[in-house]
Homo-oligomer: A and B are copies of this chain.
Amino acid sequence: MSEATETIGVDLGGTKVQVGVLAGVETLWESREGSREQSQDELVELIVREIEAARAARPDAAAVGLGIPATINQARGEAIAAVNLPLVELPIRDLISERVGLPVFLDNDGNVAGLAEHLYGAARGKPTMVMLTIGTGIGGGLILGGQIFRGATGAGAELGHVVIQADGPPCQGNCPNHGCVESLASGTALGREGRAAAESAPDSAIGKLLAEGVDIDGLVVTEAALAGDETAIGVFDLIGSRLGVACASFANIFEPEAIVIGGGVIAAGDLLLDPCRKEVRERALTPMNETPILEATLGNDAGMIGAAALARTELEKQS
């Protein structure tokens, strides 16, 4: 087994499924499909169809790694519950393995993104790292001592559901908590705060877009901020600071060599990360106040690359 071994990486997100055949970090074949508002059965069919397309293109692929935004039971290969997808106690590992006739390895999407950034990305050579993927929700991944940390049965590392404001707003999807960092600093929260800012600043770029009938979501706020709109930049100050409160907690807990931030919202780059870094410097204990807060370097491909790497590294352990 080597980095020349081809494996299939599947990254199932709240809005799309991305499938690739990879050798190490090199993508040999790739597909993307929308996954929004599909039922559990439709999601399984979609994943099977895309894996079959991948195998048709690259017949040597030896195994499948599957990263999903859900709590996992590793012993049963089960998706227990997902915040932003209709997955409930689904034995997805064996379901997919039986359909495609390949070994399937399952993990949380945040964990596989963390593995990818640890092996090939921003946290290369850093055996203790925290990964946050900020999209529809906030996924978490933990690499401790060079290994994925999953908790007792595989459901851990739900870093988006760490509280930063006990009396904060209700979280989203099936999370019963209040004031999670996901509820306050996800892409969903970015859109919500962006709409509020646009309403209260009608002369700003996002205010004018709102008046024109544009749906102000995270992407619109990001583009406006990158183009220099001070109101949109202010929204990133707010979201980045909230993210920094959670990162200060993670710094104090893990004393990591890096916290890596990925997912769609990282398109804003330092507009998001600088206010986050400021909170970590001001809030964390010595020496954790110096924890590097790094932008993920594998972009939206981290989940797919990490899922394929999971399949390869798990095959290696078995051989």
A286 to B165, CA, bound (A): 21
A242 within 8 A of B: yes
A255 to B108, CA, bound (A): 13
The listed residue (B144, B154, B164, B289) touching A166 by CB distance below 8 A is B164
Across the two chains, which residue of chain B brings its CB closest to A279? B166
Contact residues of A between 218 and 274, Cβ < 8 Å to B? 242, 245-246, 248-249, 252-257
Hey, which chain B residues are within 8 Å of A242, CB to CB?
166
B81→A249 contact, CB < 8 A = no
Smallest CB separation, A118 vs chain B (Å): 13
B167→A165 contact, CB < 8 A = yes
Query: With A166-B164, A166-B242, A245-B166 known to touch, is A286 a contact of B80 (CB < 8 Å)?
Result: yes
Across the two chains, which residue of chain B brings its CB closest to A157? B253
A152 to B127, CA, bound (A): 8
A293 within 8 A of B: no
A152, A162, A167, A282: most-surrounded residue (chain B CB, <10 A): A152
Interface size, A (range): 35 or more
The listed residue (B155, B177, B252, B282) touching A283 by CB distance below 8 A is B177
A285→B175 contact, CB < 8 A = yes
A163→B253 contact, CB < 8 A = no
A288 within 8 A of B: yes
Hey, which chain B residues are within 8 Å of A178, CB to CB?
283
A71 within 8 A of B: yes
Hey, which chain B residues are within 8 Å of A177, CB to CB?
248, 283-285
Hey, which chain B residues are within 8 Å of A86, CB to CB?
none
Hey, which chain B residues are within 8 Å of A158, CB to CB?
252-253, 255, 285, 288
A163→B248 contact, CB < 8 A = yes
Contact residues of A between 114 and 162, Cβ < 8 Å to B? 128, 140, 142, 144, 149-159, 161-162
A262 to B68, CA, bound (A): 36
A249→B151 contact, CB < 8 A = no
Smallest CB separation, A287 vs chain B (Å): 6
The listed residue (B128, B163, B245, B286) touching A151 by CB distance below 8 A is B128
Smallest CB separation, A249 vs chain B (Å): 4
Across the two chains, which residue of chain B brings its CB closest to A177? B283
User: Would you mind naming 9 contact pairs between A and B with Cβ atoms under 8 Å apart?
Assistant: A71-B286, A80-B287, A142-B253, A156-B252, A156-B288, A162-B162, A162-B249, A163-B246, A163-B283
**Ordered nearest first, which 3 A-B pairs have the shortest CB separation?**
A151-B255, A156-B255, A158-B252
Binding site for B on A (CB under 8 A): 71, 73, 80-81, 83, 128, 140, 142, 144, 149-159, 161-167, 174-178, 242, 245-246, 248-249, 252-257, 282-289
16 new A-B pairs (CB below 8 Å) besides A81-B286, A151-B256?
A71-B287, A150-B255, A152-B255, A156-B253, A158-B252, A162-B162, A163-B163, A163-B246, A163-B248, A163-B249, A164-B164, A165-B165, A165-B166, A174-B285, A176-B285, A178-B283
